[in-house]
């Protein structure tokens, strides 16, 4: 697909997150689709707030991680992306299991990109909608 400018497999993609917040909270990329990325994140002591629910900040970590990787994959060698704005609307609480993020482009420009990330629970119910804007550098 022309959207992805870099060729990478899931094993290599997941190695990029080693020794970072991505690995610390248990994010695992599971799908590199033609027009989207998917990843999972556990809902456990690393990602819950004190009342046992998925922390909104953890949802944002998942969203920003996915959007940043998608941005990186969609630009040519020699360029990079940096996040400049992220927002999240939380729709439904999650207390256990894992969540799945689905990241799709809203805008792929030469200077900036916008990505939408839907976070869904094990029953495929929408829990959070996030949008990430990245600047394209280089």
List, by residue number, the catalytic residues: 64
CA angle at residue 44 from 19 to 8, to 5 degrees? Answer: 40
- Secondary-structure breakdown of the chain: helix, strand, coil percentages, each rounded to the nearest 5: 20, 40, 40
Pairing outcome for strands 98-108 and 80-90: unpaired
What is the Cα–Cα distance from 83 to 104, expressed in whole angstroms?
15
Structure tokens at 118: 């839907």
């Amino acid at each position: 697909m022309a959207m992805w400018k870099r060729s990478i497999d899931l094993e290599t993609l997941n190695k990029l997150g080693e020794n970072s917040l991505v690995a610390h909270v248990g994010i695992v990329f599971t799908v590199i689709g033609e027009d989207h990325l998917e990843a999972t994140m556990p809902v456990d002591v690393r990602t819950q707030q004190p009342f046992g629910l998925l922390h909104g900040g953890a949802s944002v970590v998942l969203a920003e991680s996915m959007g940043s990787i998608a941005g990186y994959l969609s630009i040519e060698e020699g360029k990079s992306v940096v996040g400049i704005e992220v927002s999240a609307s939380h729709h439904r609480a999650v207390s256990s299991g894992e969540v799945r993020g689905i990241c799709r482009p809203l805008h792929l420009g030469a200077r900036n990109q916008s990505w939408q990330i839907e976070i869904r629970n094990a029953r495929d119910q929408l829990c959070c909608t996030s949008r990430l804007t990245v600047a394209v550098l280089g």
